[in-house]
């Protein structure tokens, strides 16, 4: 804006300045200060305007200082917007009441703060500060506070804002929306084996694929390590959301090239629809999470829509979790033992310890139900320690040389205390190390193989026996047999059940038994339930068997009677050839 000023008023500036005893030499210093200064005398005349204030008005400092304040206010109010006119009105009101006033305004690309204070003698002092850089930094900080720094997707905070807006449109105009909660499958092994930089690069590529799958009106957010959310707006039919969920599962499951590595992951997706599954943000997020949990249970790489009964199942699961956290203290866990039979001597050689949970209200809870939950919530390590110590105490009372086999989970192998805990269990129970057998699955060997092998060798040095459980079900069992000299390999029950039904069943058992013999390892066939299976396993060269045909798992207090019955029974005849 420009302010019309007469030359005659300009010439009076010198006398006004002299009246205020302002040294003319002060002008360069005032103009060099970033903040502007405006001084107004008791008659409403501007007697001092430093450079920044003058540029705001649109004239030089000398021209501004010759103008009455009323003229400046009229020019300020004429400048542009309704907001500027409101601010001019506030200034007039403050002048009339002689009250301090402050406000913020825009001038071109700048943001300015103006503060006005009454001065002695009826005048005023006004300071003007350029806060453009600070406001820009604050705006950027506010923006970053709503974005995930890695993927630059909206974070949980911005997602919540968009979700609240979508639900407001639902209430106002009936516009439906859907929430798709994603969790990446098999992402953790990428981080563990290739490192976090590769994992981060993979997450960025996942974010790009998700962006490409949605419309501009939809929101893709990252709310956790490998958790993403899609807010789908303007949903008229659940089929639209179903198509999006299917597209997401397909896109995420395609191979990635990251830093020279070909990587394949997957996505599980839980879906909640508004208004059918909830009309508020918390309810929708909760129900999408329940549907995601169902998708994971059903096998991963799937999408599931929320169903009302999922809530009841989750409540039951949470109650089971609470009960399990107290079960150790309440001594509700107990061990059952399933014996193993040597096929050459027909003698029992040892027993496998199997945990059972006798719930005070539900009765016996299946290990298939509570073991995965214990692994998920981090209870498997303390439960595993209890199993080890109790099994050693029980086995110490068995007749020598019966052994006890205890399964050790991958989570326990990650613990730095595993070897020390086993040493302590042996010492307190008095069980010789040679009568303890540690069973591990291939999952243990997949993690940090160098450290795992070191732990296995430490156990071997103690005299503890080590066996590979569920042999043949993994990808690299043979390579692991070469890297560590196991004492025993246990043939998975799936191969035993295939003996009769599949033509190659006997050949597989024969190959594993031959491998064990050549490596000097005992081979135990698990899951033997019929005499026919026993006969064929014996013929193929396995050394030991375990299964219901020998005995079901029995409580510790019943094991002595089982051992006595076995010793008293006549030795069965063993045919020399297969029928």
- Per-residue model confidence as pLDDT tens digits over 272-284: 999 999 999 999 9
In a domain, 578, yes or no: no
* Low-confidence winner among 13-17, 102-106, 226-230 (lowest mean pLDDT): 13-17
Q: Is 448 left (phi over 0), alpha (psi -120 to 50) or beta?
A: left
| CATH number, domain containing residue 519 | 3.20.20.450
Contacts of 211 (CB under 8 A, 6+ apart): 153, 220
* Low-confidence winner among 98-102, 135-139, 252-256, 425-429 (lowest mean pLDDT): 135-139
In a domain, 576, yes or no: no
Average pLDDT over residues 303-318: 86
Q: What are phi and psi of 519, to 5 degrees?
A: -95, 0
* Low-confidence winner among 344-348, 354-358, 494-498, 545-549 (lowest mean pLDDT): 494-498
- How confident is the model at residue 6, as a pLDDT? 36
Which DSSP category does 434 fall into? G
Whole-model pTM over 0.85: no
DSSP H helices, 417-555, are: 418-429, 442-446, 449-462, 477-483, 493-501, 505-518, 531-539
CB atoms within 10 A of CB 60: 14
Task: Report helix, strand and coil shares of the chain as percent, to nearest 5.
Answer: 50, 25, 25
Higher per-residue confidence, 235 vs 105: 235
Give the percent of the chain with pLDDT over 70: 82
pLDDT bracket for residue 78 (50, 70, 90): low
Average pLDDT over residues 499-513: 83
Calculated CA dihedral for residues 82, 87, 92, 93, nearest 10 degrees: 110
CB atoms within 10 A of CB 424: 15
Q: Looking at 236-389, which runs of residues are DSSP E strands?
A: 256-258, 261-263, 266-274, 303-305, 333-342, 348-359, 363-365
| CATH number, domain containing residue 71 | 3.30.450.20
Contacts of 120 (CB under 8 A, 6+ apart): none
- How confident is the model at residue 311, as a pLDDT? 79
* Low-confidence winner among 105-114, 456-465, 473-482 (lowest mean pLDDT): 473-482
Q: What are phi and psi of 123, to 5 degrees?
A: -90, -170
347 with 489, same domain: the answer is yes
- How confident is the model at residue 333, as a pLDDT? 96
- How confident is the model at residue 481, as a pLDDT? 74
360 with 505, same domain: the answer is yes
Distance from C-alpha of 50 to C-alpha of 62, rounded to nearest angstrom? 9
Tally the C-alpha atoms within 13 A of residue 7's C-alpha that lie toward its C-beta. Answer: 0
Instruction: Name the token pair of 351.
Output: 């027993």
Distance from C-alpha of 48 to C-alpha of 30, rounded to nearest angstrom? 10
- How confident is the model at residue 27, as a pLDDT? 60
- How confident is the model at residue 573, as a pLDDT? 53
Average pLDDT over residues 88-109: 72
Question: Which residue from 467, 488, 468, 389 is spatially nearest to 431, judged by alpha carbons?
Answer: 389
- Domain stops at, among 114, 136, 158: 136
pLDDT bracket for residue 53 (50, 70, 90): low
Show the domain range for 198.
146-306
* Low-confidence winner among 166-170, 256-260, 468-472 (lowest mean pLDDT): 468-472
Average pLDDT over residues 80-101: 71
Distance from C-alpha of 347 to C-alpha of 567, rounded to nearest angstrom? 8
The helix or strand, by DSSP H or E, that contains position 15, with its residue range, turns out to be helix 13-19
| CATH number, domain containing residue 269 | 3.30.70.270
| Angle at which helices 82-97 and 69-78 cross, to 10° | 160
In a domain, 398, yes or no: yes
* Low-confidence winner among 174-178, 191-195, 381-385, 542-546 (lowest mean pLDDT): 191-195
331 with 453, same domain: the answer is yes
What is the total residue count of the chain?
Answer: 579
pLDDT bracket for residue 3 (50, 70, 90): very low
Give the percent of the chain with pLDDT over 90: 49
Q: Is 122 left (phi over 0), alpha (psi -120 to 50) or beta?
A: left
34 with 156, same domain: the answer is no
pLDDT bracket for residue 44 (50, 70, 90): confident
- How confident is the model at residue 10, as a pLDDT? 33
256 with 347, same domain: the answer is no
- How confident is the model at residue 164, as a pLDDT? 95
pLDDT bracket for residue 131 (50, 70, 90): confident
Average pLDDT over residues 323-343: 94
Average pLDDT over residues 561-565: 91
413 with 545, same domain: the answer is yes
Average pLDDT over residues 365-383: 89
- How confident is the model at residue 571, as a pLDDT? 61
Largest CA distance in the chain: 133
238 pLDDT higher than 80 = yes
The helix or strand, by DSSP H or E, that contains position 105, with its residue range, turns out to be strand 101-107
- How confident is the model at residue 32, as a pLDDT? 59
226 with 330, same domain: the answer is no
- Domain stops at, among 247, 278, 306: 306
Distance from C-alpha of 289 to C-alpha of 136, rounded to nearest angstrom? 37
Distance from C-alpha of 194 to C-alpha of 187, rounded to nearest angstrom? 11
The burial of 72, by beta-carbon neighbours within 10 Å (0-12 exposed, 13-18 middle, 19 or more buried), is given as buried
131 with 155, same domain: the answer is no
Contacts of 61 (CB under 8 A, 6+ apart): 27, 31, 49, 50, 51, 53, 54
Q: Looking at 300-369, which runs of residues are DSSP E strands?
A: 303-305, 333-342, 348-359, 363-365
In a domain, 401, yes or no: yes
Instruction: Name the token pair of 500.
Output: 């009769």
Q: Which residues on adjacent β-strands are paired with residue 112?
A: 105, 130
412 with 462, same domain: the answer is yes
Average pLDDT over residues 182-203: 90
Mean pLDDT estimate for the chain = 83
pLDDT bracket for residue 45 (50, 70, 90): confident
37 with 177, same domain: the answer is no
Average pLDDT over residues 41-66: 65
Distance from C-alpha of 563 to C-alpha of 441, rounded to nearest angstrom? 28
* Low-confidence winner among 116-120, 228-232, 475-479 (lowest mean pLDDT): 475-479
The helix or strand, by DSSP H or E, that contains position 289, with its residue range, turns out to be helix 281-297
Q: Which residues on adjacent β-strands are paired with residue 405?
A: 352, 437
Domain count along the chain: 3
With tokens 């030089």, the residue in question is: 60
In a domain, 18, yes or no: no
Residue 254, SS3 per DSSP: coil
In a domain, 3, yes or no: no
The helix or strand, by DSSP H or E, that contains position 286, with its residue range, turns out to be helix 281-297
Higher per-residue confidence, 134 vs 264: 264
Distance from C-alpha of 300 to C-alpha of 292, rounded to nearest angstrom? 9
352 with 501, same domain: the answer is yes
CB 513 within 8 A of CB 296: no
Average pLDDT over residues 158-186: 95
Higher per-residue confidence, 39 vs 466: 466
CA 36 to chain CA centroid, Å, is: 52
- Domain stops at, among 115, 136, 157: 136
In a domain, 165, yes or no: yes
Distance (Å) of CA 371 to CA 263, 377, 380, 405:
30, 10, 7, 18
In a domain, 55, yes or no: yes
282 with 335, same domain: the answer is no
Distance from C-alpha of 179 to C-alpha of 272, rounded to nearest angstrom? 5
């Amino acid at each position: 804006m420009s302010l019309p000023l007469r030359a005659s008023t300009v010439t009076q500036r010198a006398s006004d300045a002299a009246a205020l005893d302002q040294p003319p030499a002060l002008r360069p210093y005032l103009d060099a200060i970033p903040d502007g200064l405006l001084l107004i005398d008791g008659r409403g005349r501007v007697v001092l305007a430093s450079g920044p204030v003058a540029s705001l008005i649109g004239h030089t400092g000398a021209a501004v200082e010759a103008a009455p304040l009323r003229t400046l206010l009229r020019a300020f109010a004429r400048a542009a917007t309704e907001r500027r006119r409101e601010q001019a009105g506030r200034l007039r009101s403050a002048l009339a009441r002689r009250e301090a006033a402050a406000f913020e305004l825009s001038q071109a690309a700048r943001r300015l703060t103006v503060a006005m204070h009454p001065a002695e003698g009826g005048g005023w002092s006004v300071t003007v500060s350029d806060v453009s850089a600070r406001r820009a930094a604050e705006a950027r900080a506010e923006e970053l506070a709503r974005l995930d720094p890695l993927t630059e997707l909206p974070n949980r905070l911005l997602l919540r804002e968009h979700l609240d807006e979508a639900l407001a449109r639902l209430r106002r105009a009936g516009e439906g929306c859907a929430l798709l909660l994603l969790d990446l499958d098999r992402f953790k092994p990428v981080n563990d084996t290739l490192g976090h930089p590769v994992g981060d690069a993979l997450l960025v590529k996942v974010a790009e694929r998700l962006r490409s799958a949605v419309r501009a009106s939809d929101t893709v957010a990252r709310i956790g390590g490998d958790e993403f959310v899609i807010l789908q707006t303007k949903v008229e039919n659940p089929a639209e959301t179903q198509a999006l969920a299917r597209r997401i599962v397909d896109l995420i499951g395609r191979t990635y090239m990251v830093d020279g590595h070909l990587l394949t992951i997957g996505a599980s997706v839980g879906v909640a629809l508004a208004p059918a599954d909830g009309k508020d943000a918390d309810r929708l997020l909760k129900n999408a999470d329940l549907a995601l949990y169902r998708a994971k249970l059903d096998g991963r790489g799937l999408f599931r829509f929320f169903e009302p009964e999922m809530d009841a199942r989750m409540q039951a699961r949470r109650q089971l979790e609470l009960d399990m956290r107290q079960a150790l203290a309440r001594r509700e866990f107990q061990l059952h033992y399933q014996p193993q039979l040597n096929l050459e001597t027909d003698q029992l050689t040892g027993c496998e310890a199997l945990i059972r949970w006798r719930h005070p209200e539900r009765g016996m809870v299946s290990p298939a139900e509570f073991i995965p939950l214990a692994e998920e919530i981090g209870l498997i390590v303390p439960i595993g320690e209890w199993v080890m110590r109790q099994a050693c105490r029980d086995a110490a009372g068995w007749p020598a040389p019966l052994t006890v086999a205890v399964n050790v989970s991958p989570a326990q192998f990650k613990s730095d205390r595993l070897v020390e805990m086993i040493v302590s269990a042996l010492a307190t129970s008095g069980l010789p190390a040679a009568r303890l057998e540690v069973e591990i699955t291939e999952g243990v060997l997949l993690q940090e193989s160098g450290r795992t092998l070191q732990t296995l060798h430490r156990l071997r040095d103690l005299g503890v026996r080590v066996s590979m459980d569920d042999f043949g079900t993994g990808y690299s069992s043979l390579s692991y047999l070469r890297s560590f000299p196991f004492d025993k390999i246990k043939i998975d029950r799936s191969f035993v059940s295939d003996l009769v039904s599949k033509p190659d069943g006997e050949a597989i058992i024969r190959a594993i038994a031959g491998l064990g013999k050549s490596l000097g390892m005992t081979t135990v066939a698990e899951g033997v339930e019929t005499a026919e299976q026993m006969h064929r396993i014996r013929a193929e060269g396995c050394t030991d068997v375990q299964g219901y045909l020998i005995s079901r798992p029995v409580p510790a207090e019943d094991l002595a009677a089982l051992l006595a019955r076995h010793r008293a029974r006549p030795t069965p005849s063993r045919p020399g050839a297969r029928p």
